[in-house]
Amino acid sequence: MASQLNPYLNFDGNAREAMEFYHQVFGGDLSLTTFGEYGGDPAIADQIMHGMLRTRSGYVLMASDTPPGMQLQRGNAVTVSISGDDADELRGYWEQLSEGGVVAVPLEKQMWGDVFGQCVDRFGTAWMVDITPPQG
């Protein structure tokens, strides 16, 4: 297998809900492994130790719940970016990701010619969607 670079998101007990939401948005194959499957702390047995979503478009998104003793700190240092020229597909992602979240930049044509938007979804994950004009 070739090396890959994938976003890995951390959550505070709602990784399952978030990953099921992203699965609904992007489709594909979702696998979730709980701490309990590996004999972890019974208090977090149902929480996600590792989740991975592989979409039909080839995206890979990974996630886990933060175990006790580790502090989850949300910030603005990481944003997941989705880009391409399939406007219908990308607008569909945008509509679902931004619903219930906070839109920082509305999805609209920008000065560089692309349609671009930026939001934070209801789980606190920052997203950028960039629709490039079809080449041709």
- pLDDT tens-digit profile, the chain (136 residues): 677 889 999 999 999 999 999 999 999 999 999 999 988 788 899 999 999 999 999 999 999 999 878 888 887 778 999 999 999 999 999 999 999 999 999 999 999 999 999 999 999 999 999 999 987 6
**Would you mind telling me the total number of residues written for the chain in this entry?**
136
The sheet carrying 48-54 orders its strands as 8-11, 60-65, 48-54, 29-34
Look at the pTM and tell me if it is higher than 0.85: yes
